[in-house]
Amino acid sequence: MAEVLVQFDAVVTTKDGRRFIPRACGRPSGNVWEGWIEFVPIGGGPPVRTPRETEQPNRADLLYWAQGLTQVYLDGALARGLLEPVVIEHERPVEPYFEGPAPAPVRRATVPAGVARPVLDPFSVALQGEDILLRELGALDTPRIRDIVLAYGLSTAEQARMATREQLTAAVIAGVRRAPSAVMPEQETRPGS
């Protein structure tokens, strides 16, 4: 059953001035827990949810993920959620509006055996800008960045095991830049890029 894990005090505002209160939600899904973010509009209107943001092996790890979300991450999550807003017929106080996250994005990590699921999708975050991706990676510890590198095939296991935090971050950035489906906004405007 879905539950609200963290109700944030922060307010997230869209470019057109709409304001939302974010909350991290989760539910068990098979042998893992999946998490997504819901945004409740201030002053009325339909709530919005993101696609699945993470999968964790248990509720405690999902709660740890939810408690570590930054304002920058929440801003990006609202932008993702507004791409295809979902309208809710009625409101249920302090409980999630949805029984699960929105449909999964096209790009999925292939997690090798023995590697933890990545805590973020660098290709989705990169669509908001390389600076935001760098900030999000900067908030993660070295093992979490290594998980991202391995899950998205951005380096060999041997190279990732030996790499420093800076080298792992560079591998993520280089992999995102090489991906044809993840053109960075600042690269779109340059002629001849």
pLDDT at residue 11, rounded to an integer: 93
CB neighbours of residue 129 within 10 Å:
14
CB neighbours of residue 161 within 10 Å:
10
From first to last of its 193 residues, what are the pLDDT tens digits of the chain? 999 999 999 899 998 899 999 999 999 999 999 999 999 999 988 999 999 999 999 999 999 999 999 999 999 999 888 875 456 566 556 778 888 887 755 555 566 666 678 888 898 888 888 899 999 999 999 999 999 998 888 988 899 999 999 999 999 999 888 875 443 333 333 344 4
**Structure tokens that stand for 82 in this block:** 């507004």
What whole-number distance in Å separates Cα of residue 76 and Cα of residue 82?
10
DSSP class of residue 102 equals B
Question: What is the pTM (predicted TM-score) of this model?
Answer: 0.46
DSSP class of residue 51 equals B
C-alpha distance from residue 31 to each of 53, 75, 120, 151, 174 (Å):
17, 30, 19, 19, 33
pLDDT at residue 189, rounded to an integer: 37
> 21 forms bridges with which residues in the sheet?
40
What whole-number distance in Å separates Cα of residue 143 and Cα of residue 145?
5
pLDDT at residue 118, rounded to an integer: 85
